[in-house]
Structure 1
Amino acid sequence: MAKTKHLKVKRSPGDELIQGLIYLFIGIFALITLLPFVYIVAGSFATEKELTERAFFLFPHTISFNAYQYIFKTGDVVKGLSNSLFVTILGVLINMFLSCTLAYPLSRTYFKGRIFFTNMVIITMLFSGGMVPTYMLVSNVLHLKNTYWSLWLPGAVNAFNMIIIKNYFQGLPAELEEAARMDGGNDAQIFLKIILPLSKPVIASVSLFYAVAHWNSYFDAMMYISDKNKEVIQIVLRRIIFLTSSVATEGGFDWGLFGMPPEKAVKMATTVVATVPILVVYPFIQKYFTQGVMVGSVKG
């Protein structure tokens, strides 16, 4: 057999110049995006002297862990992280279960009333009951205050995310479903054994959207959760930031060589603690992210 030769497309000098400019622009944009976060991470390990004398730096001359020691010393941050992790994981499972089971019938052309129900979903993107009626419904009617259900149920299905999943389901080859029906498969079997396994990109992408929303849930948690043992990490860090003015006056604790942590370093450390856990998730689903969002948004 003759070996297949890979032909390289020869670019003109103009094409090479444009490609170089594109890479340069992307690189500059990436640096602009990354540098502030690197500074926050570096500042969280810096001493008060360095934060005062240096306006901007990427590596502290002297590394101090006092800011992290301060925010972790009471145990509230660890409790808040575990609560947020629980809220995020279970919340994403609820969101994806309801979103996928709603998107599947709406993506089938033979489903009677699919246009009506799809329009009803779209209406929720344009109109809402408002903050006060929602609070009264959750607190006084459903009696969900001080329970995590107050964070899960009001936003159990995001209309935009559901439509992305629906459009992705619609774009899958109809022949697969027809073949499964000829083999005796019902709707549940087709959904579980054919549709979901082929929809990993959109499931991973939308799961990330829901996970970020739950992890950053601040306002809803502030309204509905007053039990300190159920506070999520965002509320715990908010309280720590408000109390940083008392750092300099705290006694009875050995801060070591560098003394008490500066307020600015404590605020930077809280930002790192709140941001890093959700960033860790992204590399695992990055390969699905672009494909899932783009295909789900343009097909159908």
Structure 2
Amino acid sequence: MAARFALMIDPVPADAEDGDFAATFQVVDPSAPALSVSELSTQRGDGIFETIGVVDSHPQEVGAHLDRLAHSAGLCDLPVPHLGQWRQAVARAAVECGPGEGAVKLILSRGVEHGPAPTAWVTAAAAPDNTVPRTRGIRVVTLDRGIDSGAAERAPWLLLGAKTLSYAVNMAALREAHRRDADDAIFVTSDGFVLEGPTSSVVLRFGDRYVTPATGTGILHGTTQISLFDHLRASGRTAQYEAVPVDALVRADAAWLVSSVRLAAPVTAIDGRAIPVDAEATASFNRYLLSPRD
């Protein structure tokens, strides 16, 4: 997603009074150089980010994304962002997405090496056309994440619950999935439990129950998955967090990978084995996820 708009942010302390933060924003040319060669986001991937889906210039689930940004900042020992300032930056960027679907990306880096402050910016871009994965589905493979289900608690310095800029492993997993003639991947633990996709959350249906892997294993708490579960519960359906063994994947009555921009993509096969597709539920999910949500 090539950025069509970029906004540099001069971060204010989290406890600063609320107000108009427009003076702390600087519009920059997204195609022009804007970062120092000593910037730690590019040198070490030392920073965090969020990607917010936008529909007709309306940014979706802003509160949940900002809460997760703050959570990631705490895990990474970064200054806690002022959520009011970032909310205004999101609103400013979202209007630049124009009609249709778009994406606003928030980035908070540790900044220039030995520098006095973090670096922060927001970009806006048009979203890719996700009609095919939403309607025809995706094939996935399971890939060992190289950790067991207790790693997050035992080794918090792995930052497994933070959305960091260190995405080389996630991108390598997608390339491996493509090498295996699949569209995407599902990470699993070395002791046999389901985690998440490289850029998505896993949702499964067993009968009339919807299930997603429990976050205690260090997976990212998906904002789209949270919203979808709230919707399911509001409509009287059961939606639960559970430890999901790998062998349960092929026993599911339906499966989806859900994320902020692609939304709900039904899984058609796992490791080459076909699984049922619930087209009606998929269409219902995406209608909801495309509706305005704050």
Higher relative contact order (CA 8 A, sep 6+): 1
Please state which band the TM-score falls in when normalised by the shorter chain: under 0.3
TM-score normalized with structure 1 length: 0.20
Structure (1/2) with the larger strand percentage: 2
TM-score normalized with structure 2 length: 0.21
